[in-house]
Amino acid sequence: MKQKTRMILEIIIVILIILLVGVGYVLYQEDHKNHNLPSVNRFIKEKEKQNYPEEQETKEEVYVNPLPDARTQYNNQEILGKLEIPNMNIDSYVARAGDNSYYLENSLSHQRDGLGAPFFDYRNTDLEKNRQINIYGHNTKNTQFYDQLPFVNLAAYTDENIFKHYKKIYLSIDQKKLEYEVIAIKIITEMDNEHMKLVFYSDKDYLDHVKKLLQNTLYKDSVNITEKDRLLVLQVCHYNPEDTYLLVIAKEKQKA
């Protein structure tokens, strides 16, 4: 009888241990998911303390092309742009290879590097005229690499106040400095790939694409997109929920 009771107790203890481990794992996963990108969370809190200071108007200056020096510095003629989002601490050169995989695993200096580098979609062959420009960059959960992966900071746009207050994106290409305004934030899965459509056969085809692109957004401004407007889409991996992508969609500001 005692042996039977002892056996029952041992079984109960084993079951309790399994349950505790399981609950602990679930809690860890939930915390890990919700504790997405601590540096970004600190960034948001800092902006909250500052009461979301307004963006400063940039003075009209004579454009000086920054790209020739960058090509010399990195010995890389594939550097075709410089992306700046002042309030997101993003100031990065952007390259373009012959495919969308090279800069996933290589640096701007053509060194094998798992951190990669921000890059244009290989189909963006005319940055001055393409109706939509896509730029891709890596994300990470490893805090030691945050400073080396500027696109990590794009996750701050999942905070509605950041989306409302920080709209300006600048893209320098050889010809000029383009200014964009963020109009939508979207979280997608691999099945939702409308933003990857970059070839348009007519104005109607383009506008139909824009309509689909701006569906099911997390946040979106009420803006009218015409056949003359040009878009910029920034894509980065996202972890909340897992296995998704974050899109920052911006519209080029037309100069008067």
pLDDT per residue over 49-105, tens digit each? 667 776 666 666 799 999 999 999 999 999 999 999 988 889 999 999 999 999 999
Please give the pLDDT value at position 91. Answer: 95
Distances (CA, A) of 210 to 40, 66, 229, 243, 252: 29, 31, 10, 24, 14
Please give the pLDDT value at position 26. Answer: 44
Take residue 111 and report the two structure tokens written for it: 């060194």
Please give the pLDDT value at position 4. Answer: 63
Take residue 47 and report the two structure tokens written for it: 């902006």
Give me the tens of pLDDT residue by residue for the chain, a chain 256 residues long: 556 666 766 666 767 666 665 545 444 444 444 344 556 666 676 766 667 776 666 666 799 999 999 999 999 999 999 999 988 889 999 999 999 999 999 999 999 998 999 999 999 999 999 999 999 999 887 777 777 788 999 999 999 999 999 999 999 999 999 999 999 999 999 899 999 999 999 999 999 999 999 999 999 999 999 999 999 999 999 988 899 999 999 999 987 6
Cα separation, 94 vs 120, whole angstroms = 7
Q: Which structural domains are found in the chain, ordered by start?
A: 55-252 (2.40.260.10)
User: Left (φ > 0), alpha (ψ -120 to 50) or beta: where does 52 sit?
Assistant: left
Please give the pLDDT value at position 40. Answer: 66
Please give the pLDDT value at position 19. Answer: 65
Please give the pLDDT value at position 146. Answer: 75
Cα separation, 116 vs 110, whole angstroms = 9
